[in-house]
Amino acid sequence: MPPEHHQQQLPAVHEAYLPREHALHRPRHGKRQMTALVAALLFFTTPTLLWVFGVRPGEIENHKLASFPSLAGGFNFFTDLPTWATDQLSFRAGAIAAADGISRSLFGEDAPLDQGPAANAGPIPAPPLQQPGAPNTGPTAPSVPGSNQAGYRKVVQGLDGWLYYGYDAEAKCTPTQDIDTTLKKVNELRDAVEASGRKFVFAVTPDKSTMVPQFLPGSYPGKECSQAAAPNDWYKMTTVGRSLDLRPALAASAAHVGHPIYAPNDTHWRDEGGLVLTRALAEAVQPGSTSSWMSAPDGQYDAVADLPLLLGKSGVKTNTQYSLLPDGVNDRATGFIGSIDQPVQRKSGPLDGTVNKPTLVYGDSFSLASSRYLDAAFTNLTYLAYSTDKTTQAGAVDQFVNSQVVVLEAVERNVAGGLVPFTDDGFISAVKTALAAHPVR
């Protein structure tokens, strides 16, 4: 037999039966494979069996439970199946509590349950405990490597029990779009709105870590790079981007009430922040309109805090609500809006001190957290989230057309991180075309 033919022949026995020293030796993994298959079968069938016997999972984290993946999704069916199975484990809350208890007992600290990538959908609205519509939402972003410390956290655990949203730091360290590009696009949107005869107001709402830094821990992922980037970002947002600078008024309000106006266990400001934003917007649209305003504390309410949910826990924040009398006589403060994924319109009769032009607030969860007071100051107001997938681009553009004032409100971390869908070229082009065809004169 020719040598070359001999070299092409395969061994006559299975690779597993060759001597270990042989180059083609491949051990069998039958027992291990069977164990893995049984474990996988139990993992994926347990949620179904528990469902049959009446056990239901709960939303212990701050996102909606994953639905069963569609077979029409092709290979995505297999990649989405583990997420569904994990969310459907009814005993997961107990397991998380046990892990946290063990970590506290042995190491004196919480279990690191918030490591890993953050969900790009962000925290879902958390329900109030007493008052319908009390707001709790907040956007997040995918985790991107880049910190000089090991891994970003969904939640940064600060001093005296304070919690901070981890993306506050991550956004500034690893933006998906640089701040110069973001602000250039904001100004393109501004030009399109103003060219049509409409008023445009840009308001960046500060992160909690910006306004209440004193409870941040000495070290956390992204600390150095985020603190280095923040001053430059704010300079550009308030000069190039011509954003309202809410920081001085927020600091003055905190000094007046004698405590921080961001809750220790929530990423949003308290009602005092909503009043600050409302007053700033009213003055920007109609200077002098707030001279007749009166406001006073009007009781307290409890709501679910959003940051503990990201740790698999629960928490409550207590807020003081306020009245708002634009004319000094009639209280116009309303209930909070629960969702602005689709346009929400609020109308009321004009008073002294109110802004009466049709106004669009194209915003995020801080618009929700301020809606009680925005409703009091603006008599023809439409809310819409810029990050929603429940309203089409054409539907969003229609809200621009129907307004005489456009307020663009976005939280600092989203602007710094570039997670701002309103800077999309296609969206800006659509707004420009529609507004040019429907000018306000």
Least confident stretch, 133-147, 157-171, 257-271, 419-433: 133-147
Q: Looking up tokens 């001999």, which residue turns up? A: 6
Q: For the chain, what percent of residues have pLDDT higher than 90? A: 64
Banded model confidence at residue 54, pLDDT cuts 50, 70, 90: low
Give the mean model confidence (pLDDT) for residues 329-349.
96
Cβ–Cβ < 8 Å for 92, 57: yes
d(CA 128, CA 335): 12
Residue in 267, 268, 312 with CA at minimum distance from that of residue 110: 312
Note the pLDDT of residue 370.
97
Cβ–Cβ < 8 Å for 151, 193: no
Q: Looking up tokens 């953050």, which residue turns up? A: 118
Dihedral sign of CA atoms 400, 349, 131, 366 in order: positive
Model confidence pLDDT, tens digit, residues 304-325: 999 999 998 999 999 999 999 9
Model confidence pLDDT, tens digit, residues 183-194: 999 999 999 999
Note the pLDDT of residue 151.
78
Strand partners, 156: 164
d(CA 28, CA 26): 7
Other CB atoms within 10 A of residue 299 CB? 11
Cβ–Cβ < 8 Å for 370, 272: no
Model confidence pLDDT, tens digit, residues 59-106: 544 455 566 667 666 666 666 656 655 555 555 555 555 555 555 555
Which are the contacts of 437, defined by CB distance < 8 A and separation ≥ 6? none
Q: Residue-wise over 148-165: b if at least 16 C-beta within 10 A, else e?
A: eeeebbbbbbbeeebbbb
Q: Which residue did the predictor score with more confidence, 78 or 176?
A: 176
CA 159 to chain centroid:
23
Dihedral sign of CA atoms 34, 35, 36, 38 in order: positive
Note the pLDDT of residue 9.
57
Cβ–Cβ < 8 Å for 110, 104: yes
Banded model confidence at residue 130, pLDDT cuts 50, 70, 90: very low
Model confidence pLDDT, tens digit, residues 292-301: 999 999 999 9
